[in-house]
Amino acid sequence: MLTAEVVAETGCKWFRGGAFKPRTSPYAFQGLAEEGLKILSDARDAFGLRIVTEAVDEPALDLVEKYADVIQIGTRNMQNFSLLKRAGQARKPVLLKRGMSSTLEEFLLAAEYIMSEGNYQVILCERGVRTFGDHSRFTPDLSVIPAAQRLSHLPIVFDPSHSTGNRETVIPMARAAVAAGADGLLVDVHPYPERALCDGPQALLFDMFRDLVAQARAIAEIVKQHSEAHIIGAAVE
């Protein structure tokens, strides 16, 4: 609730929380399931936010569809084709995360699986890819943003938190993504990261999040102005 309040105060409209959390280790915290979805629903009611949350399998998607405003399909499920088809049968927007080793073509075809079932409300999410680099959890592939926009009509957002795994790197990568033309950001925030049950090292503190929102909006305005100037110039020609 503390986080939801800050997110709403900054003017953000969407709130992502994980009720189902796929983890590398089977012994790690896996989320609160339906109890977590109810908490997210309470946050929506209290602060007027729209809820985004992940479905890890088809039974979970049934619950997510009931409680959430946007269904997230995570990195590990990007090519879970039966789950993609089930998401396509839902009539709610779907946030599709890129697989950690997936090409752009594979990413876009995964989105096609959703749309082939009649649901065209798909949002792409770049979250970094696996490379030889060890200075970051994954390597942010910002070049995929303009590439996806060139090949697809779908909006694409960027997740600097999961791609870098380090809060000190989140803001610079987020700024770069907005400058590259990203349609939005998906950022982890926590009041007490040292106590977080998962992803604490990448979560921004509240003041850091406020700063990021202000910086991202300033950069987005510059990008918008240059884009409009380019369009006007082309029209004059």
- Domains with residue ranges and CATH for the chain: 2-236 (3.20.20.70)
Read off the tokens for 145. Answer: 């943003």
Read off the tokens for 11. Answer: 């003017």
Please name which of 194, 182, 140, 180 lies closest in space to residue 162, comparing C-alpha atoms. Answer: 140
3-state secondary structure of 96: strand
Please name which of 60, 62, 53 lies closest in space to residue 94, comparing C-alpha atoms. Answer: 53
Query: What pLDDT is stored for residue 225 in this prediction?
Result: 83
Q: What is the pTM of this model?
A: 0.94
SS3 content of the chain, % helix, strand, coil (to 5): 50, 15, 35
Indicate the DSSP class of residue 138.
S
Query: What pLDDT is stored for residue 229 in this prediction?
Result: 55
Question: Over the chain (237 residues), what is each successive 10-residue block's mean pLDDT?
Answer: 97 96 93 97 97 97 97 98 98 97 98 98 97 94 98 97 96 97 97 95 97 97 76 45
Query: What pLDDT is stored for residue 227 in this prediction?
Result: 72
Query: What pLDDT is stored for residue 228 in this prediction?
Result: 63
At a CB cut-off of 8 Å and minimum separation 6, what does 3 contact? 15, 189, 190, 191, 206
Query: What pLDDT is stored for residue 237 in this prediction?
Result: 42
Query: What pLDDT is stored for residue 231 in this prediction?
Result: 47
The CA distances from residue 110 to 21, 162, 200, in Å, are 21, 20, 30
Query: What pLDDT is stored for residue 226 in this prediction?
Result: 76
